[in-house]
Chain A
């Protein structure tokens, strides 16, 4: 139980860890993305600024070159480069304006640059105007004036300064990007480690659970098997006991009969013999004594008769000594003599265990008794035949029969008989049709 609880806590801890790890991963990933994106954007911007700074210089130089060519050649064609240059420089300055909109230091420098550039352009424009206006000399003078070079230097200086600043910014961005990527790398590694640990914990936990489950299953199986074994044992014991009880009664009866016959019978006979001798001795003397003796003999006779009937009920001596066929025949003849009913026997020797023989004997006895008591029959047929590994015994009468559906028929003493027949592995069947007689039939297995 405690193990289960511990497992539960470990499970939720692991779950929380997993959620936190996922959140951290998301966070780091997003942060990296945004930082890297903006760094790249700035890098791009840096490149553009540098390009534009260069373009300012180039534009001014181009314009100057164009102007000088024009002065030399007096051709309008040469003004093309001049105009191009002017456009380039202005465009670059405009772009730089935009780019430096949020950077006050750069903006200041740019302002100075612009001023210088503008000055140069103004001079150039003026020079051209002079030339085109006819004042070639004036134009030439203006063109050779070194003052413009100062401005050009200013432009170059400022451009270089701004470039350096850009370089610095770029270097910082690169460093930032490297830092964020490095952090991301570490975080991912850490996350991977945490993930592995979590996985390990989880696997171990589920292995533990699996082992526990298997152990429980084995316990249950073992318990089941032992219970099964217990049940089998008990069933076997019960069956043995039942069989024992079934035979115990007959065995007991057998024993009693034996004792009665052997011991008691001998004693009583002996007593009768003694009585005979005493009577002979007494002769005609002592009539009272003779009377007593006669009474004594009567008592002895009664005892003998009682003993006999008990013995015979307990252990049919005919069965034990003459066999089943003879015993059944005797039953039949005695019943016929007693009741006047005609009894037809068709008996063949059969192979049965002694207990089964006794059961058959008792069955016929019971069936015949019932015929005598209830059937008012004129004829009885008794069959005893072997039949393909089985023994069939049948007692049939032509008496009044009974209604099989009526519950009273179980009172005909055949319930116990059915049990005894079944205990011998046989089947008892009673059939009857009112007015047409009754048949009691048992089928038992032959012994080998």
Chain B
């Protein structure tokens, strides 16, 4: 399975570290970089940054918001998949995130398993796409 180059935007070190460990253990995710604020993230995800397949975004950051990141990524037509992983996932917030270009929204506490499955699925799809399309 192809590893998914992943960028994580999360401001809690404990969650971030644990998330990285979990995702790398249970999914094809390869964490390429992290940041805890909007501006740093956007720099990393800009044209001069590494190739990223997946961005996992928390909404409430140390600086700026995940929504801002989503907006910018949408404007850039960034090719990475965008996942919102947050503690604050009211229906309204979910709708907002999806409107701003998020592919999925997962709740940090209740939908960890779903996140893991989705990441696994992404990787499979990516591999499948690579396999199908000629290089």
Chain A residues packing against B (C-beta within 8 Å)? 261-262, 265-270, 272-274, 276-277, 280, 300-301, 304, 308, 317-318, 321, 330, 333-334, 337
Q: Give complex CA distance A266, B21 in Å.
A: 15
Q: Give complex CA distance A223, B59 in Å.
A: 63
Q: Interface-forming stretch among B39-47, B48-56, B107-115? A: B107-115
When distances are taken between beta carbons in the complex, the residues of chain B under 8 Å from A301 are: 109-110
When distances are taken between beta carbons in the complex, the residues of chain A under 8 Å from B98 are: none
Q: Is B124 an interface residue (CB 8 A)?
A: no
Q: Interface-forming stretch among B11-19, B29-37, B75-83, B127-135? A: B11-19
| 8 A/B residue pairs, CB under 8 Å, sorted by A | A265-B87, A269-B18, A274-B22, A276-B22, A276-B113, A308-B109, A317-B88, A330-B90
Cβ B12 vs Cβ A276 within 8 A: no
Q: With both chains docked as a complex, state the minimum distance between the C-beta of A235 and any C-beta of chain B, in angstroms.
A: 42
Cβ A269 vs Cβ B92 within 8 A: no
Number of interface residues of B (CB under 8 A): 23
Of B12, B21, B26, B109, the contact of A272 (CB 8 Å cutoff): B109
Of A267, A269, A337, the contact of B91 (CB 8 Å cutoff): A337
Q: Is B118 an interface residue (CB 8 A)?
A: no
When distances are taken between beta carbons in the complex, the residues of chain B under 8 Å from A262 are: 12
Q: Give complex CA distance A261, B15 in Å.
A: 12
Cβ-Cβ contact count across A and B, 8 Å cutoff: 62
Of A274, A277, A280, A334, the contact of B92 (CB 8 Å cutoff): A334
Cβ B87 vs Cβ A273 within 8 A: no
Of B21, B25, B26, B108, the contact of A269 (CB 8 Å cutoff): B108
Q: With both chains docked as a complex, state the minimum distance between the C-beta of A166 and any C-beta of chain B, in angstroms.
A: 139
The 6 closest A-B pairs by CB, nearest first: A304-B109, A266-B14, A273-B18, A270-B18, A266-B12, A273-B22
The digit string for B54-95, where 1 denotes a CB below 8 A from any CB of A, is: 000001100001000000000000000000000110111000
Cβ A268 vs Cβ B92 within 8 A: no
For the A-B complex with A273-B112, A330-B90 known, give 5 more contacts whose Cβ atoms are closer than 8 Å.
A262-B12, A268-B109, A276-B113, A304-B109, A321-B60
When distances are taken between beta carbons in the complex, the residues of chain B under 8 Å from A272 are: 108-109, 112
Q: With both chains docked as a complex, state the minimum distance between the C-beta of A269 and any C-beta of chain B, in angstroms.
A: 5
Cβ B12 vs Cβ A277 within 8 A: no
Name B95's closest neighbour in chain A (CB-CB).
A333
When distances are taken between beta carbons in the complex, the residues of chain B under 8 Å from A274 are: 18, 22
- The main secondary structure of chain B at its interface with chain A is helix
Cβ A266 vs Cβ B15 within 8 A: yes
Q: Give complex CA distance A380, B74 in Å.
A: 36
When distances are taken between beta carbons in the complex, the residues of chain A under 8 Å from B88 are: 317-318
When distances are taken between beta carbons in the complex, the residues of chain B under 8 Å from A321 are: 59-60, 65
Q: Is B116 an interface residue (CB 8 A)?
A: yes
Q: Give complex CA distance A267, B113 in Å.
A: 17
When distances are taken between beta carbons in the complex, the residues of chain B under 8 Å from A269 are: 12, 14-15, 18, 87, 108-109
Q: Give complex CA distance A268, B112 in Å.
A: 12
Knowing A330-B90, A334-B90, the reply to whether A277 touches B25 (Cβ < 8 A) is yes
Of B15, B25, B113, the contact of A270 (CB 8 Å cutoff): B15
The digit string for B97-112, where 1 denotes a CB below 8 A from any CB of A, is: 0000000000011101
Q: With both chains docked as a complex, state the minimum distance between the C-beta of B107 and any C-beta of chain A, in angstroms.
A: 9
Name A320's closest neighbour in chain B (CB-CB).
B60
Q: With both chains docked as a complex, state the minimum distance between the C-beta of B118 and any C-beta of chain A, in angstroms.
A: 13
Q: Give complex CA distance A261, B25 in Å.
A: 27
Q: Give complex CA distance A146, B88 in Å.
A: 174
Q: Give complex CA distance A280, B27 in Å.
A: 11
Knowing A330-B92, A333-B92, the reply to whether A308 touches B110 (Cβ < 8 A) is no
When distances are taken between beta carbons in the complex, the residues of chain A under 8 Å from B59 are: 321
Q: With both chains docked as a complex, state the minimum distance between the C-beta of B116 and any C-beta of chain A, in angstroms.
A: 6
Name B27's closest neighbour in chain A (CB-CB).
A280
When distances are taken between beta carbons in the complex, the residues of chain A under 8 Å from B22 are: 273-274, 276-277
Q: With both chains docked as a complex, state the minimum distance between the C-beta of A308 and any C-beta of chain B, in angstroms.
A: 7
When distances are taken between beta carbons in the complex, the residues of chain B under 8 Å from A300 are: 109
Cβ A273 vs Cβ B90 within 8 A: no
Q: Give complex CA distance A210, B18 in Å.
A: 89
Name B111's closest neighbour in chain A (CB-CB).
A272
Q: Give complex CA distance A333, B38 in Å.
A: 28
When distances are taken between beta carbons in the complex, the residues of chain A under 8 Å from B14 are: 266-267, 269-270
Q: Give complex CA distance A274, B59 in Å.
A: 22
Cβ A276 vs Cβ B90 within 8 A: no
Q: With both chains docked as a complex, state the minimum distance between the C-beta of B6 and any C-beta of chain A, in angstroms.
A: 15
Q: With both chains docked as a complex, state the minimum distance between the C-beta of A435 and any C-beta of chain B, in angstroms.
A: 34
When distances are taken between beta carbons in the complex, the residues of chain B under 8 Å from A273 are: 15, 18-19, 21-22, 112
Name A337's closest neighbour in chain B (CB-CB).
B91
Cβ B26 vs Cβ A276 within 8 A: yes
Cβ A308 vs Cβ B87 within 8 A: yes
Q: Give complex CA distance A274, B14 in Å.
A: 12
Q: Give complex CA distance A227, B110 in Å.
A: 64
Q: Give complex CA distance A304, B89 in Å.
A: 13
Q: With both chains docked as a complex, state the minimum distance between the C-beta of B120 and any C-beta of chain A, in angstroms.
A: 11
Q: Give complex CA distance A130, B47 in Å.
A: 192
